[in-house]
Amino acid sequence: MDIRLGNIHTKLNYFTPHEFGLNYVGWAEPIAVSMIKAYQTYHDIDKVENLNDYIELMLDGRLSANSKYTSIEQISSRGDVEDITAHLTATILTNFIDLEPLHQKDLKKYLQYLIAEILNNVADHSGSTNGGFAMAQYYPTKRKVQVAVADSGVGFLKHIHKAYPKITTDEEAIKKAIEMGVTASNNRMYGHERNAGYGLYALIQIIKETRGKVVIISNFGMLRCVDGEITTCTLDKSWNGTVVAFEFIEKNTDYEFEQMMSKCMFMEDEDDEDFF
């Protein structure tokens, strides 16, 4: 069995007490590895059975020779975010040594911003006693990076419903969470003020522009952004918590990071709500 970004919605049965560890998993992308680690930790499972040796290395945080993946990192609080973001970014950038220094610097800004946003979401809002787990992998053929974070927390709806009582489903909550002004918090990151209320909104806009992919799962809700098109659905099986994963395509960065952020700021004409 393979568990990938593209088929994760069909594999949620795996993350249930009756099936976890019973089927052989031969291939797992970061979205699956982070979910396996979150599920394993939450349910206090010592060892996950029937995994490819490569996946076991990922789960244990060990790097194989010439590995293209990062070690898996646990996010327990906001204090972890900057160090983990820096570590994941630095590991990913070792695969882009052929880029010109200026382009490397710009790619670093993109990765730092995107990774920090999804980690902050876990640190601030997961409500999980175990925090969340994040990792990344580089795919050299397409020169893309997949980054994923998963937690076994409360999901988006609990937070969204407090401010928007009319929103009562996980699917609706995810839609609201990606609007401008809804998800980010004020804080400084890498010496710069983060844009309040931009979190997942900016992530989606950047991935649209770079023709990447995003998957967000929160309990029974799922959102996909593929080829610039956003779709949402209600799932048959729940992931009890939140998963955010994206694929970033380096060669499709038509804008410098500062230009991209400026472009994102004017994509919507809304007042920031910033309750998250």
The pair of structure tokens assigned to 237 is 């099986």
Task: Note the pLDDT tens digit of each residue in 37-59.
Answer: 999 999 999 999 999 998 998 89
Among the listed residues 122, 117, 234, 127, the one whose alpha carbon sits nearest the alpha carbon of residue 174: 234
Among the listed residues 240, 242, 83, 267, the one whose alpha carbon sits nearest the alpha carbon of residue 177: 242
Cα separation, 68 vs 3, whole angstroms: 18
What pLDDT shows up at residue 190?
39
Q: What is the 3-state secondary structure (H, E, C) of 146-202?
A: EEEEEECCCCCHHHHHHHCCCCCCHHHHHHHHCCCCCCCCCCEECCEECCCCCHHHH
Contacts of 31 (CB under 8 A, 6+ apart): 3, 4, 5, 8, 146, 148, 150, 215, 243, 245
pLDDT tier at 14 (50, 70, 90 boundaries)? very high
Assess whether pLDDT exceeds 50 at residue 125. Answer: yes
What pLDDT shows up at residue 263?
78
Range of weakest confidence among 19-33, 57-71, 147-161: 57-71
Task: Note the pLDDT tens digit of each residue in 71-120.
Answer: 899 998 888 889 999 999 998 998 888 888 888 999 999 999 999 988 88
| Average of per-residue pLDDT across 64-74 | 82
| Average of per-residue pLDDT across 120-138 | 83
What pLDDT shows up at residue 184?
38
Cα separation, 121 vs 187, whole angstroms: 13
Cα distances (Å, whole numbers) of residue 261 to 194, 203, 255, 264: 11, 10, 9, 5
β-pairing, 27-28 vs 192-193, is unpaired
| Average of per-residue pLDDT across 172-187 | 73
What pLDDT shows up at residue 276?
44
- Phi (first) and psi of residue 164, to 5 degrees: -130, 80
Q: Is 218 helix (H, G, I), strand (E, B) or coil?
A: strand
Cα separation, 162 vs 274, whole angstroms: 13
Q: Is 240 helix (H, G, I), strand (E, B) or coil?
A: strand
Share of the chain above pLDDT 90, in %: 52
What pLDDT shows up at residue 65?
62
Question: Domains of the chain, with CATH numbers?
Answer: 74-265 (3.30.565)
Give the H/E segment covering residue 257: helix 257-265
Decide which of 42 and 131 is more confident. Answer: 42
Cβ distance 276 to 156 under 8 Å?
A: no
Cα distances (Å, whole numbers) of residue 90 to 85, 109, 124, 147: 8, 11, 24, 13
Beta strands in the chain (DSSP E): 2-3, 27-28, 73-75, 132-139, 144-151, 188-189, 192-193, 213-226, 229-249
Assess whether pLDDT exceeds 90 at residue 257. Answer: no
Cα separation, 38 vs 32, whole angstroms: 10
Cα separation, 247 vs 204, whole angstroms: 11
Cα separation, 4 vs 20, whole angstroms: 16
